[in-house]
Amino acid sequence: MKALEIKGLTKTYDNGHQALKGVDLTVEQGDFFALLGPNGAGKSTAIGIISSLVNASEGSIRVHGLDLETRRNQCKLLIGLVPQEINFNTFESPLHILVTQAGYYGISRKVAIERSEKYLKLLELWDKRHGSSREMSGGMKRRLMIARALVHQPKLLILDEPTAGVDIEIRRSMWKFLQEINSSGTTIILTTHYLEEAETLCRNVAIIDHGTIVEQGAVNDLLSRSMTQSFVLDLKQSPASPPQLNGFRVVSCSGRRLEVEMSVGDNMNTLFSQLAAQDIEVISLRNKTNRLEEFFLRLVGRQASPDENKTDGASA
Amino acid sequence: MQSITAVNIVAFKTMVVKEVRRFMRIWVQTIVPPAVSALLYMTIFGTLIGSRVGEMDGHRYIDFIVPGIIMMAVITNSYGNSVSSFFGAMFQKHLEELLVAPVHNAVILAGFVVGGVCRGMLVGSLVAVVSLFFTRLHVENPLITIAVVILTSTLFSIGGVINSVFAKGFDDISIIPNFVLTPLTYLGGIFYSIHLLPDFWRGLSYFNPVLYMINGFRYGILGRSDISIGWSFLVIVVFIVILAAIALRLLNKGVGIKT
């Protein structure tokens, strides 16, 4: 069964801006799906419509086979949303926030408290349960929103940039948690500017730009179509002049750092042989950017802004 | 799958608990000030000035104004609760918690309204207790008294939700209370009988809906008022139906709360 099926989704705002131009999207049950796109591409609008925070102009959405327009409340029971902005009542404690949210989904107070305990413990917030949510760190607030979205145990979890502004250690622990949630059967749709995150977590991806899906498919299939990749090589000594490499492009050579662009499928041994022949010793190498990011930038046809280009640099 | 009706029953209870907890948590802001204001009104207008005024419509002046002062507290606090709670939820965006949940808009409206009614009733009761320092407060018709106060606080709680839907900032939630509600309340016969007014102003007063609420409540407590109790109930109920329909339509269309 399809967890989400979107057909011809269009959104035109009152000011005439068309945020979505006939989006078609399918997410299979159990998938970990990335919805990527530059700022203003229409990701949050699409998520807003799916979660009933934004009114669609045209199109249809089915959640686990149920039509969102005619069976909206049944659909809402199946969806959990982690929005981009912090949107809980900061005057309430984490425990109250979760118990209240569970109540909105018809969960009795007794069960709500049990579930809240479960998710607050899983997300390492149990110690903070009676504290002021306003005083929690950014990472804790993000985790609290994930716990809140899970408290009614949705079948489809939508995460709109859940790790924005979260340090790498917490981000990775959140990845692990989300992978566990996904492997227990929850379908997850993720939007993120950290393309390493999408490449690590997601099996399928759709790239949206200017309100249109420009690419959709399995992450591995898309990456196999990536034409080039760049590597940064750390050298033992600074070369006297940039090396001459046949079949590879030297992007830059500065000090003991060499950046090389090569076609996907090129033999790395050839590169090393040519460098060795010029008495250049390589002590380490890494991807300049992760592969999905390179694919994404080429597809959306522009340089990402600094905000769009956050990456931790995938190791080769 | 759980029935949506069952979900909404639990959601409604949850909303009411949350709303009551909200205004009780900040009781110094929400509960105490109206009691202090009422104490001052009763001391100054009821005791100091009232002793020179003498009787109004056959009652001691303090006895005459106490129902109006209680009602003023009920109106102000019912309205204030729903407008501040709903607008606060919009402003902090935690209204989205409700909008993404399978809660009917009628239940959302009811939750905020009942929260406003609870605060209105609590404050009204507190002001009534304060009034015991000044008068015996014999209640002539308890059922009518309770019915009028519940219906009036319902009406103004709905009004508060409508106000907050259109509000873009904190200024917008104070304009209606300051420039509409307060004048209507003061001119609604709290401190005087409309029989004292010249014909023109008395005729104009009949267009003030608050007059019917204050006089309905006064009838419940004193057993007589400027307006017949039937008219009071009719006006209040008609306004409730009209405002509830408007509020529901706004919520269904997502005005102010959805993009």
- Write out B220-248 in H/E/C secondary structure: HHHCCCCCCHHHHHHHHHHHHHHHHHHHH
Question: CA quadruple B109, B112, B118, B120: dihedral positive or negative?
Answer: negative
- Maximum CA pair distance of chain A? 73
**With bands split at pLDDT 50, 70 and 90, how would you rate the model's confidence at A290?**
low
Flag whether pLDDT at A301 surpasses 70. no
Flag whether pLDDT at A304 surpasses 60. no
A288 and B CB contact within 8 Å: no
Which residue has better confidence, B178 or B78? B78
CB–CB contact A103 B9 (8 Å)? no
Which residue has better confidence, A228 or B128? B128
Which residue has better confidence, A310 or A133? A133
A108 and B CB contact within 8 Å: yes
pLDDT of residue A155: 96
**With bands split at pLDDT 50, 70 and 90, how would you rate the model's confidence at A3?**
very high
DSSP A303: P
**Angle A93-B25-B11 from CA coordinates, rounded to 5°:** 65
Q: Which of B7, B92, B258 sits opposite A53 (nearest CB)?
A: B258
DSSP B181: I
Chain B closest CA to A104's CA: distance in Å?
Answer: 4
Chain A neighbors of B258, CB-CB under 8 A: 52-55
Best mutation site among A63, A68, A92, A104 for testing chain B: the one with the most B CBs within 10 Å?
A104
The CATH number of the structural domain formed by A226-309 is 3.30.70
pLDDT tens digits, residue range A204-231? 999 999 999 998 999 878 777 666 778 8
CB–CB contact B103 A104 (8 Å)? yes
Q: What are the respective helix, strand and coil percentages of chain A, to the nearest 5?
A: 35, 30, 35
Say if residues A177 and A121 touch (Cβ distance below 8 Å): no
Report the 10 Å Cβ neighbour count for A14.
6
pLDDT of residue A306: 39
Say if residues B64 and B222 touch (Cβ distance below 8 Å): yes
Chain A neighbors of B252, CB-CB under 8 A: none
- In three-state secondary structure terms, A40 is coil
Chain B neighbors of A52, CB-CB under 8 A: 99-100, 258
**With bands split at pLDDT 50, 70 and 90, how would you rate the model's confidence at B1?**
low
**With bands split at pLDDT 50, 70 and 90, how would you rate the model's confidence at A291?**
low
* Dist. CA B117–CA B95, nearest whole Å: 20
B81: nearest Cα among B11, B7, B22? B22
Chain B closest CA to A245's CA: distance in Å?
Answer: 55
Q: Which of residues 134-163 of A touch B (CB under 8 A)?
A: 148
pLDDT of residue B138: 86
Mean residue pLDDT across chain A: 88
**With bands split at pLDDT 50, 70 and 90, how would you rate the model's confidence at B211?**
very high
Say if residues B112 and B157 touch (Cβ distance below 8 Å): yes
* Dist. CA B213–CA B78, nearest whole Å: 14
**With bands split at pLDDT 50, 70 and 90, how would you rate the model's confidence at A179?**
very high
A242 and B CB contact within 8 Å: no
Flag whether pLDDT at A313 surpasses 60. no
pLDDT of residue A303: 43
Boundaries of every domain in chain A: 2-223, 226-309
Q: Give residue B182's domain range.
A: 4-253
Mean residue pLDDT across chain B: 93
- In three-state secondary structure terms, A152 is coil
**ipTM higher than 0.85?**
yes
- Give the ranges where chain A is alpha helix by DSSP (H): 43-50, 72-78, 94-104, 109-122, 138-150, 168-183, 195-201, 219-224, 268-277, 291-300
Chain B neighbors of A54, CB-CB under 8 A: 258-259
A129: nearest Cα among A176, A179, A166, A92? A92
Nearest CA in chain A to B6: A106
Give, in order, the Cα–Cα distances in Å from A156 to each of A47, A76, A80, A95, A310: 12, 10, 6, 23, 27
* Dist. CA B193–CA B56, nearest whole Å: 7
* Dist. CA A1–CA A5, nearest whole Å: 10
Say how many domains are in chain B.
1
Chain A neighbors of B96, CB-CB under 8 A: 53, 83, 87
* Dist. CA B188–CA B166, nearest whole Å: 26
* Dist. CA B124–CA B67, nearest whole Å: 10
Region B162-185: mean pLDDT is 91
Give Cβ neighbours of residue A95 (< 8 Å, ≥ 6 apart). A113, A116, A120, A129, A130
Q: Which of B10, B92, B97 sits opposite A106 (nearest CB)?
A: B10
pLDDT of residue A300: 72
- Interchain CB contacts (distance < 8 Å): A and B: 86
**With bands split at pLDDT 50, 70 and 90, how would you rate the model's confidence at B53?**
confident
Region B211-228: mean pLDDT is 93
CB–CB contact B258 A55 (8 Å)? yes
Say if residues B36 and B131 touch (Cβ distance below 8 Å): no
β-bridge partners, A302: none
Flag whether pLDDT at A20 surpasses 60. yes
Region B94-119: mean pLDDT is 96
Nearest CA in chain A to B2: A106
**Angle A84-A90-A91 from CA coordinates, rounded to 5°:** 165
Q: Kindly write down the DSSP assignment for every residue of B129-174, as one continuous string.
A: HHHTTT-----S-HHHHHHHHHHHHHHHHHHHHHHHHH-SSTTHHH
pLDDT tens digits, residue range A229-244? 788 899 998 988 889 9
Exposed e or buried b for every residue in A213-230, given b needs 16+ CB within 10 A? Answer: bebbeebeebbeebeebb
Six-digit token string for A92 = 């309430």
Which residue has better confidence, A293 or A30? A30
- In three-state secondary structure terms, B209 is helix
pLDDT of residue A314: 29
With 0-12 / 13-18 / 19 or more C-beta atoms within 10 angstroms meaning exposed / middle / buried, residue B51 is: exposed
A313 and B CB contact within 8 Å: no
Region B90-111: mean pLDDT is 95
Q: Kindly write down the DSSP assignment for every residue of B70-126, as one continuous string.
A: HHHHHHHHHHHHHHHHHHHHHHSSTTHHHHTTT--HHHHHHHHHHHHHHHHHHHHHH
pLDDT tens digits, residue range A32-50? 999 998 888 899 999 999 9
B107: nearest Cα among A313, A114, A106, A220? A106
- Residue B112 placed within a domain: yes
* Dist. CA A50–CA A59, nearest whole Å: 11
Say if residues A160 and A192 touch (Cβ distance below 8 Å): no
**With bands split at pLDDT 50, 70 and 90, how would you rate the model's confidence at A158?**
very high
Residue with tokens 């809140």: A148
- Give the ranges where A105-251 is alpha helix by DSSP (H): 109-122, 138-150, 168-183, 195-201, 219-224
Chain A neighbors of B25, CB-CB under 8 A: 91
Chain B neighbors of A74, CB-CB under 8 A: 1, 4, 102
pLDDT of residue A311: 38
* Dist. CA B219–CA B145, nearest whole Å: 8
pLDDT of residue A264: 74
Residue with tokens 């015996």: B136
pLDDT of residue A312: 37
Query: What percent of chain A has pLDDT above 90?
Result: 63
Q: Which of residues 29-48 of A touch B (CB under 8 A)?
A: 45, 48
- Residue B259 placed within a domain: no
pLDDT of residue A226: 64
Q: Tell me which residues of chain B have a C-beta less than 8 Å from any C-beta of chain A.
A: 1-2, 4, 6-11, 13-15, 17-18, 21, 25, 89, 92-94, 96-104, 254, 258-259
* Dist. CA A74–CA B1, nearest whole Å: 8
Give domain A2-223's CATH number out of 3.40.50.300, 3.20.20.80, 3.30.420.40, 3.30.1130.10: 3.40.50.300
- In three-state secondary structure terms, A99 is helix
Q: Are strands A156-160 and A187-191 parallel, antiparallel or unpaired?
A: parallel
Region B196-221: mean pLDDT is 94
CB–CB contact A53 B100 (8 Å)? yes
Chain A closest CA to B191's CA: distance in Å?
Answer: 39
Region A79-88: mean pLDDT is 94
pLDDT tens digits, residue range B139-148? 999 999 999 9
- Residue B258 placed within a domain: no
